[in-house]
Amino acid sequence: MQRAFVLCFILGTLRENISASVGRNVCNSRICHETANRLIQYMDPSVSPCHDFYSFACGTFIKNSVIANNQDSIGPSVTLMETVNEQLKTILDEPLKPGAPKFEHDLKKLYRLCMDQDKINARGIQPAVELLRKVGGWPVLEEKYDRNWNVWSLLETEIAVEQIVHSGGIFFQLGVGKDFLDNTKIRIHLDQPTLGLEPEFLLKGPTEPVVMAYYEFMVDTAVLFGAKKNYAAIKMVDCLFLEIEIAKIMTTQEERRDFSRFYENKYTVHQLNTMIPWLNWARALDGMMPESVHEFTDEIIVVEPDYLRKLGKLLNRYPKEVVANYMTWRAVESMVEVLSDDIGKLKFDFDIALWGVTEMKPRWEKCLLMVSTRLDLALASLYVKKFFDGNSKRRAMEMVQRIRQQMLPEIDDVAWMDQTTKNFAKLKANTIIRNVGYAEQLTSVAEVDKFYSKLQMNPANFMEAVIDVNRFINVHSWEKLVRPVIKHDWRDYGNVFVINAYYDHQGNSIEFPAAILQPPYFHADLPLYINFGTIGSIMGHETTHGFDDKGSQFNHEGKLQPWWDERSEANFNQQKQCMIDQYNAFNDTKQTMMTVNGANSQGENIADNGGLKLAWKSYKRMFPDHPPNPEPSLPGLEGFTPDQLFLLSMANMWCSKTRTETLKLNILTGTHAPDEFRVKGMIMNFRDFGKIFQCPQGTPMNPTHKCYVW
C-alpha cells in the first residue's frame, strides 16, 4: 500500500524523472531492497519536499514510531546501536575457550561480576560506606557528632576521593593531554570539573524541575546511607546552592570554543601556587599522581585560571561542613553504577526527569556500557575479529580519500580567503590522517594482552574490581607524561563499536569506527548515491571540522597556531555569523518551544553544511549528470533520480523521534542542533537543491538567502 502511495506521488509530481529513468537497471540485492523499504516507510509523500524536506523524508516514521520505554529516542542510529549491542553481548556471553588471552578473561570476568545482581544487592551500599570512612565520612550522616571542622582538609579529602574512587575531580580536574602549542609533548592539564548536573540546568535555579529532581536524588541518597530525612533536606540544599554557585563561575561552552587563551597558560607548580594560593598544588599533584610519575616536574596547562581564582574565594564563603558534604555527595554519586539496585532506583527517578525514560534498561545493557567504557581495547579486539568485514574498510578508505581530496577545490573556490591562507588550508587538508574501521594492532592478541598485562583485578567483588580497573586506567593515563609520545597511538582508538565519527584537532585526523561502517550508514554493495548521501556526508562532516570555528585554530600538524590572514579571518567570522543567526532562528514549536543555540552548535552546523557539499561534489565527480553507465535505481523508487536519492538518504539518516525531556537537554546543553534542523539547515543552504527537486527559489527549503562557510 505504501509503495503504491509513493508511486502515485512520483507519477503526479516527478514525471520528468520517470521518463529520464527509463532504461535504468534496478538493484534487486537484499541490501538494496532493505534500503528502499526503509526510505519508503520513513517518508511522507503528502508533504512537499519544497516546503519541509525533513517531514517529506521522515514524516511517516515520526508519525508511526513508538519510543521504547527504556529509550530516550528512536531512529536509524538507535536501531544500529541496538544491533551492535547485541553483537557485543554475544561476545561477552560466549564461554571462554582453552587458551583464551588474559584480556578476554579480565573482560568477561568484569562483565559477569556486574551481571551477578544478587550478590551486588546482598552487599547493598556497604562497600561505599566502607570507602566513605576512608575519605573521612559523610557529615550529613553525623547529626549528633560534634566534629572539629577546623582540622578538616579539603585537599586531603580531594586526594583521598581521587585515590579511591578515581572520579576525575570534584572542584577541579587534573589529568594529562597534549600541549596545545606543541602536540609532541604531553602535559598535566588543570581544568574546571564536570558537575553532577549540567551547569545550564543549575543556572536556571532551584525551582527548575530537573534541578528539583537532582536535589531529591541528593536527599534520598543521603537518607539511604542513614541520614534523617529532615536533616538531609536541610544539609543537601546547602550542597545544591554551592553547586549552583560553582556553575555560575564556570566558563561557558560558547566561551570554551575559543582556544586563544591557551597561548599563555602554562605554569610551573611554584607559579601555580603563587597565582592560585588557596590550595597546595604540589601536595595535590603528589597525592593524585601514581608513584611511577612522581618525579615529573614539567609545566602545567591551566585551562581555566579565572575559574580557579574565583573558586578559592567561593569556597572561603562556605562552612567546611557544607564543602565536605558536597564533596562526599559527588563521591557517592560517582559510585552509583557499581552499587545495589536500591540506589540505582534513586538514580533512575532522576533520569526520568532528565531524559523522560519510564523504564530501566536491562541489566546486561548497563553492564555492557560499564565494561565497554573501561576495557574498550579488549572488547574492540574481539569485536573487529568477529563482526567486521575487511572489504568495508577498504571501500570506506577509498571514499574518505575522495572526499578529503575534494576539500582542495572547495578551498580554491571560496572568495573570502586570500591565497596565502588558502595554501595553508590546502596543506592541512592534504595532511589529514584517516583512521577507518580499527587499528591493525587490535587484531594482535599479543599487543592487546601486553597492554592489559599489569591489570590486577579483584576476582570476587564487583565494586572492588571496577576500582581496580579505574586505577589501571588512571595509571596508564598519567604515565603518558613519562612515555615517548606516539602521535597516533592505537591505544587511544578503542571505541570501534561506537555509532559515531570524530575529528581530532590535535592529531589533524578523522576517525570512522568499525560499527558505523554498516547499514543503514554504509554497505559496500549499495549504489554510490546512497553511500555518499549517508556515510559520505558524515565523512565530509568530519573533514570540514578541521576548518570550523575550532578546527581553524589548529594548523596542519595539529598545533594551536595562527595561520590566517587577518582579513580572511574577519571574512570567515562574517560567514559563520550568517550560519549562527540562521540556526538561532530555528524554533522547536512541536515539543520544547525552545530555539536552537546557533553559537554552541556552530561547529557542527559548519561541518554539516560543508560535509554535505563535499560528499555531493565527490559523488558528482564520479557520476556526472549524464553518465554512460548510470547506477541502478532502488526497487520501488525508480521515479527518483540518483541525485534525489542522494539527498533523501542523507535526510533519512537523521530521521528520529525524541522524548521532550531529552530534546530539551540536547538543545540546552548540546553542541548539535536537533536532527530536524540539521537536515533543514543543510537543505536550505544547498545550492543544487532547487534544481534537484524542482523547488522554485523563495520556497521554504530553497530560500533566496543562503549561508555558506565552505
Q: For residue 150, name the pLDDT band (cuts at 50, 70, 90).
A: low
Mean pLDDT of 19-31: 74
| 677 or 299, higher pLDDT | 677
Mean pLDDT of 417-436: 96
pLDDT at 8 over 50: no
Nearest Cα to Cα of residue 530 among 633, 656, 676, 677: 633
Mean pLDDT of 268-278: 92
Contact between 371 and 414 (Cβ < 8 Å): no
pLDDT at 228 over 50: yes
State the pairing for strand pair 266-267/186-191. Answer: unpaired
Contact between 435 and 510 (Cβ < 8 Å): yes
| 87/70 Cα distance (integer angstroms) | 19
Mean pLDDT of 23-48: 94
Predicted local confidence at residue 263, as pLDDT: 84
Strand order across the 300-302 sheet: 173-178, 186-191, 300-302, 266-267
For the question of residue 604 being annotated catalytic, the response is: no
Residue type, 86: E
Mean pLDDT of 505-533: 96
| 662 or 167, higher pLDDT | 662
CATH of 139-338, one of 3.40.50.10320, 1.10.3470.10, 1.10.1380.10, 3.40.50.300: 1.10.1380.10
Percent of the chain predicted with pLDDT > 90? 84
Reported as a single tens digit per residue, the pLDDT across 568-608 is 999 999 999 999 999 999 999 999 999 999 999 999 999 99
Dihedral angle, C-alpha 65, 69, 71, 77, nearest 10 ° = -30
Predicted local confidence at residue 77, as pLDDT: 96
Query: Would you state the cell numbers that stand for residue 562, as one nine-digit string?
Result: 595562527
| 161/689 Cα distance (integer angstroms) | 56
Q: Which residue has the cell 560558547?
A: 254
| 441/439 Cα distance (integer angstroms) | 5
Dihedral angle, C-alpha 411, 412, 415, 417, nearest 10 ° = 60
Query: Would you state the cell numbers that stand for residue 525, as one nine-digit string?
Result: 554493495
Q: For residue 81, name the pLDDT band (cuts at 50, 70, 90).
A: very high
Per the prediction, the chain carries an average pLDDT of: 92
> Which of 191, 351, 542, 638 is flagged as catalytic?
542
Cβ neighbour number for residue 259 with a 10 Å cutoff: 15
Predicted local confidence at residue 527, as pLDDT: 96
Reported as a single tens digit per residue, the pLDDT across 430-455 is 999 999 999 999 999 999 999 999 99
Cβ neighbour number for residue 356 with a 10 Å cutoff: 19
Provide the terminal-to-terminal Cα distance of the chain, rounded to the nearest Å. 42
List residues bridging with 300 in a β-sheet.
Answer: 188, 267
Predicted local confidence at residue 146, as pLDDT: 60
pLDDT at 73 over 60: yes
| 282/311 Cα distance (integer angstroms) | 18
pLDDT at 22 over 60: no
| 652/75 Cα distance (integer angstroms) | 9
| 144 or 365, higher pLDDT | 365
pLDDT at 516 over 60: yes
Mean pLDDT of 207-221: 98
Give the C-alpha distances (Å, rounded to integers) separating 349 from 254, 328, 342, 354, 356.
30, 21, 11, 9, 10
Contact between 523 and 595 (Cβ < 8 Å): no
| 290 or 294, higher pLDDT | 290
Q: For residue 158, name the pLDDT band (cuts at 50, 70, 90).
A: confident
Q: Which residue has the cell 557544607?
A: 322
In 185-288, DSSP assigns E strands to 186-191, 266-267
Predicted local confidence at residue 148, as pLDDT: 67
Reported as a single tens digit per residue, the pLDDT across 661-678 is 999 999 999 999 999 999
Cβ neighbour number for residue 343 with a 10 Å cutoff: 23
Mean pLDDT of 544-558: 96
| 521/650 Cα distance (integer angstroms) | 9
H/E element, 429: helix 419-430
| 694/130 Cα distance (integer angstroms) | 69
Three-state DSSP at 456 gives coil
Overall fold of domain 1-71+389-441+491-710 = Collagenase (Catalytic Domain) (3.40.390)
Predicted local confidence at residue 296, as pLDDT: 66
Local structure of residue 26 (DSSP, 8 states): B
Predicted local confidence at residue 85, as pLDDT: 98
| 223/241 Cα distance (integer angstroms) | 19
Domain spans in the chain, listed from the N-terminal domain onward: 1-71+389-441+491-710, 139-338
Q: For residue 2, name the pLDDT band (cuts at 50, 70, 90).
A: very low
Question: Which phi and psi angles does 131 have, rounded to 5°?
Answer: -70, -35
Q: For residue 626, name the pLDDT band (cuts at 50, 70, 90).
A: low
Predicted local confidence at residue 389, as pLDDT: 79
For the question of residue 566 being annotated catalytic, the response is: no
Mean pLDDT of 354-363: 97
Predicted local confidence at residue 149, as pLDDT: 67
Q: For residue 502, name the pLDDT band (cuts at 50, 70, 90).
A: very high
> Which of 376, 608, 661, 676 is flagged as catalytic?
608
Reported as a single tens digit per residue, the pLDDT across 687-710 is 999 999 999 999 999 999 999 999
Answer yes or no: pTM beyond 0.85. yes
In 194-309, DSSP assigns E strands to 266-267, 300-302
